[in-house]
Amino acid sequence: MHTRDFHKDSVLKIFLSYFRPHLGLFTLDMACALMISLVDLAFPYVSRLCLYELIPESRYRAFFAVLVVMVLSYILRAFFQFVVTYWGHSFGTIVEADIRQDLFEHLQTLSLSFFDKNRTGRLMSRLTSELFDITELAHHGPEDLFISGVTIVGAMAILFTIQWRLALVMLVLIPIFIAVVSVNRRAVMRASMKVKETNAVINADIESGLSGMRTAKAFTNEETEHKKFLRANDEFRVSKRGHYKAMGKLNASMEFFLGVMPVVVIGVGGLLIMDGKMDYVDLITFSLYTSTFITPMRKLSNLSEMLVSGLAGLRRFVELMQVEPEIEDSPGAGELRDVRGDIDVRDVSFTYEREDTAVLHHVSLHVSPGETVAVVGPSGGGKTTLCSLIPRFYDVTEGSILIDGTDIRDVTQRSLRRNIGVVQQDVFLFAASIYDNIRYGRTDATRAEVIEAAKRAEIYEDIMAMPDGFDTYVGERGVLLSGGQKQRISIARVFLKDPPVLILDEATSALDSVTEERIQRAFDELSRGRTTVIIAHRLSTVRNASRIVVIRDGVITEEGTHEELLALNGDYANLYRTQNLHK
């Protein structure tokens, strides 16, 4: 479904839309559920027949023939129950998988600003535990409603043919039961929503605590993290207690009605027998059908709980699917092809949504094809922001950015980013092998191409010295590798991608001088023949740049070569002197 469908369609319509591709499996589940209901309805009626005709008339052959048929019916019922349990649950799992796929694909379309504002643990909860409730609703919801409906309606129809007065009493009790359950269901719904929200919070806290375990140990703040966890855990406990309280009221009212119903049947039936309007056989039949009622009515009650949890999860799913990406391809956006690497930043201003003041103010910059431009300046000046605008991770607030004369808003985001390679200071490696992490730069690359990229990034010898070579597992976020090794793997990844435009975002600032020198050689090789923008903290790494641009407080204050900027004796010269003093 498209995002706009989640805005205009009802929650129920959205839910049912996931049934459509698997209608055959759903129909099989419902057909087997119908057969189960028919067998359950047949037993009391057949028992009445035996009590009225076969047993009093001593018709042995017919009596035992009926029993054999009923045993065979229950064998068939067991088979139908297997189909409902196995294929019905499989249907629910398929629906869950489809919903999870749509949700993950939708999250991939959202802009980075969305992930800036939402914790990973909360999103994980949306993708996992909350969808399980939707699975249960997808399977048990229609099935239980169908079985219960057929059983109750069928039983009532039969009972009216036996004794309409007693059937009428039962018909009055059922709506009262449904009304009481519905009233209590709303309270359970509110409590269930609260549990899901709290569960998302605790998942986020756990994810944060586990991810930051090294930092917690380094600062001996395990107790602080433990207290944060306990607070979240207590909130979860309180919300869960509220949920169980509401569920307790619902179950208590349900059990009361289910217990009272047989008493009412015996009471009213006894009066009718004493008045000569009913006999014992019919009362026994009514009692059997009352037992038949109990299972579907309990299913309806359980369905109420399932409906509450499932709809709560479904609403939160729809709520997330309704989030529109802040950055979308414009209608008719074209492909960016045959890129030379001519970059024009024209009068660009930018303000983050979460901030009130602008980060960049009317910045203009031209980078010629194949040129290497370094962007330097004090922290918070807007260097990284400027370079995040070029691949359109964020959209400019004012002005425009052009590549080869084309506004980047007029081309697809995929084609734009396919032509830009980014190497960041904080390298992200997947919990996989070195080979898989390098090949991430171009997933169709051959092993020979991966090896060549590793050689050009000067990481090949390090890899071959490892026990498993390219198959070495790097750990969560590359924790089993050194900072220099992670950085060179990220460089190899970009070598493999081979983009015409390259952005290096303070990629060596966290490394020691020896490692930095080695990586600098890899960068020099990587930059050759490409348009390169370097964000640098250490000025020693940008002395050979074609041009150096100084940004302070979101404004370009100086521009020129290393020698020219030193001669100006301005911001760059001050930064250079400060760094040399600290050597």
User: pLDDT tens digits for 198-243?
Assistant: 776 777 677 666 666 656 666 566 777 777 777 777 777 777 787 7
Percentage of the chain exceeding pLDDT 70: 89
Domain with CATH 3.40.50.300 in the chain: 343-419+499-581
Asked if 37 and 352 count as a contact pair (C-beta separation under 8 A), the reply is no
> If DSSP codes are grouped into helix, strand and coil, which group holds residue 298?
helix
Greater confidence (180 vs 2) lies with 180
pLDDT of residue 78: 92
Closest by CA position to 402, among listed 353, 455, 473, 339: 339
What average pLDDT does the chain have?
Answer: 80
Token pair recorded at residue 269: 């039936």
| Residue 499: C-alpha distances to residues 191, 404, 486 (Å) | 52, 14, 20
> How far is Cα of residue 40 from the mean position of the Cα atoms in its chain?
41
User: Is the pLDDT reported for residue 4 higher than 60?
Assistant: no
pLDDT at 536: 78
The pTM of the full predicted model, rounded to 2 decimals, is 0.68
Q: Which CATH architecture has domain 3-321?
A: Up-down Bundle (1.20)
Show the CA angle centred on residue 282, arms to residues 279 and 285, nearest 5°. 150
Q: Band the pLDDT of 76: cuts 50, 70, 90.
A: very high
Residue 160 has pLDDT above 80, yes or no: yes
pLDDT of residue 46: 80
Q: Report the pLDDT value the prediction gives residue 82, as an integer from 0 to 100.
A: 92
Strand partners, 424: 505
Q: What is the pLDDT of residue 16?
A: 83
- Among 10-14, 16-20, 396-400, which is the least confidently predicted range? 10-14
What is residue 583's predicted lDDT score, i.e. its pLDDT? Answer: 47
The fold adopted by the segment(s) 343-419+499-581 is Rossmann fold (3.40.50)
Evaluate whether 341 touches 515 at the Cβ level (below 8 Å): no
Q: What number is the average pLDDT over the span 500-508?
A: 78
Q: Locate CATH 1.20.1560.10 in the chain.
A: 3-321
Contact yes or no for 321/198 (Cβ under 8 A): no
User: What percent of the chain is predicted at pLDDT more than 90?
Assistant: 4
